[in-house]
Amino acid sequence: MDLLDKERLAPLYARELARFHARIPKSMAAREVARRFMPDGVPMSWMSAFFSHPPVFVDGGEGSVFRDIDGNEFVDFNLADLSNTVGYGKNAVSRALADCAARGIQYLQPSMDAINVSAALAARTGMPFWQYTGTASAANIEAIRIARAYTRRDKVVLFTGKYHGHIDTTLAKGGSPEGNEPARPSSMGVSARATADAVNVAFNDLDHLKAALGKGDVALVLIEPALTNCSLVLPDPGFLEGAFELTSAAGALFALDETHTLQMAYGGLIGERGLKADILTLGKGFGAGVSLGAYGLTPKLARFIDQHQDSDTVPEPGIALGGTTYGNALSMAGARAMLDEVATPEAHTRIAKLGARLADGLDAIIAKYDLPWRAFRYGPRSGFCLTPSLPRTYVQALRSVHADFYNLRHTYLANRGIWDAIVSAGPQVSFAHTEQDVDCYIEVCAELIDEIATG
Ligand SMILES: Cc1ncc(COP(=O)(O)O)c(C=O)c1O
């Protein structure tokens, strides 16, 4: 029995989509008005592009639940793609933000919270020096720029299946590791010149990386320690350690992008496993829901950027870093509350247990129907792995990014009060989730699989 058979999924999906449309009349009407002012009626294209149904306009929320303007409530397992792991409504972060906003949001001067946030990040990741941006994408842009300035080289090595934000250099596909063939733009509007300095190699493949480093022209190796944007690919034992050694030996810098994985383990993989890196990039407000990115630096790189500040009062050009609203008082206040009061070691232990409960529940469904699948499991993150073994590569991982199964699952769950993660991601448990939330997800998934199986 193939549960992923199009013929089996299509009628159920059509039924669920019609039901969902009927549940959101006010959102449908709001969208029509919104379309007069914004493309497809949304302020940012992902709000429409990520879903096969019309966008739901939000009214508010509390804890793990958000509410739309039609009054539907959803237990959220997407967490705004991990940019809101704190939850909705009143919590430590919203109180800190309100307090800060009442005193002043933005000064172009450091607030004392910047010290607290940097000290907290240093303690949990081991990276001693910190700089802030508005997004993870911007943190990665600055990481690339620093590496190019420091090494005086241009090439950036990436890993197939990665996502580092909408940055011209990393919106690159293909390219031969040996450098005979340059990477090409992976989306419209990106110049081929911008991607020509990038190359993609295979995750979990040190020989491929070695080949890319062979010519001694690489500035930066930029890697997610686990691929989190094409389902989930965990690193083989020794892979990240070996990648750092090879990179250092080739005179290049090694940057870990833990924008997502910081939400999966206390201190991210670097903190959990004691990994080495020259730069560590973070983002998504560390889950506080505020626009904020960051990067950690080793002492040698912190000294380097200190010595090469870009200023109108100095004749020599420095490194172009910074942005007017980066590191502002509001984002720092939110991050401080998130790190000190929400994402504590105990809270991480709690959500890892909930993640294991979720994975166990999915595995039980998979076993009941004898499906050739298994659950993903890494801390609070889980989900359906639609292959018998966990993926080690992007190509294997893509088999679990299944549009038809996802579209049905998303609308089926939404009709029963659950907001599922986007197709390439979780579900993931947030700091606001409870055991009941997790059990509810499992229960509704069990009903769904039963309906698919029994037709
Ligand atoms: C690993 C990783 N890095 C960077 C980004 C970019 O984040 P943002 O869109 O907040 O800049 C993302 C977004 O999903 C991500 O998953």
- Which residue, 342, 357, 377, sits at the end of a domain? 342
Query: What is the pLDDT averaged over residues 211-221?
Result: 96
Is the CA virtual torsion 371, 426, 439, 76 positive or negative? negative
- pLDDT band (50, 70, 90) for residue 315: confident
Q: Which residue has the CA at smallest separation from atom 4 of ligand 1?
A: 164
Instruction: Please indicate, yes or no, if residue 1 is contained in any of the structural domains.
Output: no
Q: Are residues 56 and 201 in the same domain?
A: no
- pLDDT band (50, 70, 90) for residue 178: confident
Residue 148 has pLDDT above 80, yes or no: yes
Residue 310 has pLDDT above 90, yes or no: no
Residue 285 has pLDDT above 80, yes or no: yes
Exposure string over 153-185, b if 16+ CB within 10 A, otherwise e: bbbbbbbbbbbbbebbbbbbeebebeeeebbbb
428 vs 351: CA distance, rounded Å? 9
Q: Which residues does ligand 1 sit against, CB inside 6 Å?
A: 81, 135-137, 163-165, 224, 228-229, 257, 259-260, 283-284
pLDDT at res. 249: 98
Q: Are residues 281 and 300 in the same domain?
A: yes
- Kindly give the distance from the C-alpha atom of residue 81 to the centroid of ligand 1, in angstroms, as a whole number: 9
Q: Are residues 336 and 188 in the same domain?
A: yes
305 vs 432: CA distance, rounded Å? 38
- Which residue, 342, 357, 378, sits at the end of a domain? 342
- Which residue, 297, 323, 342, sits at the end of a domain? 342
Residue 316 has pLDDT above 90, yes or no: no
- pLDDT band (50, 70, 90) for residue 311: confident
Residue 25 has pLDDT above 90, yes or no: yes
pLDDT at res. 65: 98
Instruction: Please indicate, yes or no, if residue 204 is contained in any of the structural domains.
Output: yes
Q: Are 296 and 305 in contact (CB under 8 A)?
A: no
Residue 326 has pLDDT above 90, yes or no: yes
Q: Are residues 79 and 167 in the same domain?
A: no
Q: Which domain holds residue 98?
A: 92-342
Q: Report helix, strand or coil for 257.
A: strand
Q: Are residues 299 and 432 in the same domain?
A: no
Structural domains of the chain, count: 2
Residue 1 has pLDDT above 90, yes or no: no
Is the CA virtual torsion 249, 255, 261, 265 positive or negative? positive
DSSP structural state of residue 126 = -
Q: Are residues 393 and 410 in the same domain?
A: yes
Atom of ligand 1 nearest to the CA of 139: 11
Best residue for ligand 1 mutational test, from 82, 158, 284 (most atoms within 8 Å of Cβ) = 284
Q: Are residues 257 and 385 in the same domain?
A: no
CA angle 307–308–311, rounded 5-degree value: 120
- Kindly give the distance from the C-alpha atom of residue 428 to the centroid of ligand 1, in angstroms, as a whole number: 16
Residue 314 has pLDDT above 80, yes or no: no
- Kindly give the distance from the C-alpha atom of residue 209 to the centroid of ligand 1, in angstroms, as a whole number: 23
pLDDT at res. 34: 97
Domain holding 210: CATH number? 3.40.640.10
Residue 280 has pLDDT above 90, yes or no: yes
- Mean residue pLDDT of the chain comes to 96
Atom of ligand 1 nearest to the CA of 137: 11
Q: Are 179 and 217 in contact (CB under 8 A)?
A: yes
Instruction: Please indicate, yes or no, if residue 183 is contained in any of the structural domains.
Output: yes
Closest CA to 224 of 234, 212, 213: 234
Atom of ligand 1 nearest to the CA of 83: 10
Best residue for ligand 1 mutational test, from 259, 280, 282 (most atoms within 8 Å of Cβ) = 259
What amino acid is encoded at 328 in this protein? Answer: N
pLDDT at res. 312: 79
Closest CA to 335 of 86, 107, 81: 86
Q: Are residues 141 and 45 in the same domain?
A: no
pLDDT at res. 374: 97
- Kindly give the distance from the C-alpha atom of residue 448 to the centroid of ligand 1, in angstroms, as a whole number: 31
Lowest mean pLDDT segment, chosen from 243-257, 308-322, 342-356, 379-393: 308-322
pLDDT at res. 68: 98
Query: What is the pLDDT averaged over residues 300-317?
Result: 89
368 vs 362: CA distance, rounded Å? 10
37 vs 31: CA distance, rounded Å? 10
pLDDT at res. 179: 77
Q: Which residue has the CA at smallest separation from atom 13 of ligand 1?
A: 165
- Kindly give the distance from the C-alpha atom of residue 86 to the centroid of ligand 1, in angstroms, as a whole number: 18
pLDDT at res. 29: 97
- Between residues 132 and 176, the one the model is more confident about: 132
Distance of CA 53 to the CA centre of its chain: 22
CA distances (Å), 115 to each of 142, 283, 390, in order?
A: 20, 18, 40
pLDDT at res. 3: 86
Residue 10 has pLDDT above 90, yes or no: yes
Q: Are 150 and 253 in contact (CB under 8 A)?
A: yes
Residues ≥6 apart with Cβ < 8 Å to 57: 26, 27, 30, 31, 34, 68, 69
Instruction: Please indicate, yes or no, if residue 194 is contained in any of the structural domains.
Output: yes
Q: Are residues 263 and 318 in the same domain?
A: yes
What amino acid is encoded at 142 in this protein? Answer: E
pLDDT at res. 393: 94
Instruction: Please indicate, yes or no, if residue 101 is contained in any of the structural domains.
Output: yes
- Kindly give the distance from the C-alpha atom of residue 137 to the centroid of ligand 1, in angstroms, as a whole number: 6
Residue 205 has pLDDT above 90, yes or no: yes
- Kindly give the distance from the C-alpha atom of residue 418 to the centroid of ligand 1, in angstroms, as a whole number: 24
pLDDT at res. 290: 95
Q: Are residues 232 and 371 in the same domain?
A: no
Q: Are residues 319 and 356 in the same domain?
A: no
Domain holding 14: CATH number? 3.90.1150.10
pLDDT at res. 304: 97
- Kindly give the distance from the C-alpha atom of residue 64 to the centroid of ligand 1, in angstroms, as a whole number: 22
Query: What is the pLDDT averaged over residues 275-302?
Result: 97
Q: Are residues 299 and 324 in the same domain?
A: yes
Lowest mean pLDDT segment, chosen from 5-9, 54-58, 124-128, 395-399: 5-9
- Between residues 176 and 134, the one the model is more confident about: 134
Instruction: Please indicate, yes or no, if residue 269 is contained in any of the structural domains.
Output: yes
Q: Are 20 and 411 in contact (CB under 8 A)?
A: yes
What's the pLDDT tens digit per position in 395-431?
A: 999 999 999 999 999 999 999 999 999 988 989 999 9
Best residue for ligand 1 mutational test, from 164, 270, 281 (most atoms within 8 Å of Cβ) = 164
Query: What is the pLDDT averaged over residues 57-74?
Result: 98
Instruction: Please indicate, yes or no, if residue 265 is contained in any of the structural domains.
Output: yes
Exposure string over 38-71, b if 16+ CB within 10 A, otherwise e: eeebbeeeeebebbbbbbbbeeebebbbbbbbbe
